[in-house]
């Protein structure tokens, strides 16, 4: 008989063990099929873009860890998201109430900088999004970026097509 009294197929392998093996194979297949690529490879229609990430409230020596020409990655998924073109800084500003003038001012905080990292990448632009592989490049998006020299949290503040 196909399945014996001990639920073994042809008396050899338990049907539960066969089921477990089948599920394992399915999971491996799904993991390979659905996992995002680590490197965004160029596809037809890819567009060269430059985008700028603003990193707030850093000490003046932080920018020295960011090197032009270095690759930069998404910290959360490890995607390669471009190459650093340049770094600039501005005084770090916070909202402060000016009671006499009755206005909320953007005032510089001594000792801190806002660091702007300009990154070049090859992206796909659709009606819905601009993305480097699975990493969306949109103004206002929170991003965690890193390479071997630095890691930081910031916002994308500019995107332009080359």
Partner 1 sequence: MVIDKQGRLFGKLSIIDIAVLVVIIGLLIGLGYRRLSSKAAVIVNADTKFYVTLVVERIRDFSLEAIDEGDIIYEQYAQQPFGKIVATETEQSKEVLKKPDGTISYVPMEQKFNLYATLECTGNVGDNGYYVNGNSQIAIGSDLRIQSNKVICTARVVGLSLSR
User: CA geometry: angle at 97 spanning 95 and 99, to 5°?
Assistant: 165
From 3, 16, 59, 109, residue interacting with partner 1 (rule: CB under 8 A)? 16
1, 31, 34, 128: residue in contact with partner 1 (rule CB under 8 A): 128
**How far apart are alpha carbons 137 and 122 in whole angstroms?**
11
Q: In whole angstroms, what is the distance from residue 128 CA to residue 56 CA?
A: 28
DSSP letter (8 states) at residue 113? E
Q: Which stretch binds partner 1 (CB under 8 A): 37-45, 58-66, 68-76, 90-98?
A: 90-98
Binding mask 17-56 for partner 1 (x = CB under 8 A): --xx--x---------------------------------
Cβ-based nearer residue to partner 1, 72 or 137:
137
Residue 132: count of CB within 10 angstroms of its CB: 22
> Does residue 102 bind partner 1 (CB under 8 A)?
yes
């Amino acid at each position: 008989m196909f399945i014996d009294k001990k639920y073994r197929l042809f008396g050899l392998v338990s049907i539960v063990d066969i089921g477990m093996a089948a599920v394992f194979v399915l999971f491996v297949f799904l993991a390979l099929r659905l996992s995002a690529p680590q490197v965004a490879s160029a596809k037809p229609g890819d567009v060269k873009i430059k985008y700028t990430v603003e990193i707030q409230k850093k000490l003046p020596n932080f920018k020295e860890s960011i090197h032009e020409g270095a690759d930069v990655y998404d910290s959360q998924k490890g995607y390669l998201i471009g190459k650093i073109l340049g770094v600039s800084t501005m005084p770090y500003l916070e909202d402060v109430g000016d009671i006499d003038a009755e206005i909320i001012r953007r005032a510089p905080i001594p000792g801190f900088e806002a660091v702007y990292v300009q990154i070049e990448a090859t992206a796909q632009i659709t009606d819905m999004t601009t993305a480097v592989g699975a990493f969306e490049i949109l103004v206002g998006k929170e991003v965690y970026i890193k390479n071997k020299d630095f890691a930081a949290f910031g916002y994308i503040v500019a995107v332009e097509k080359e």
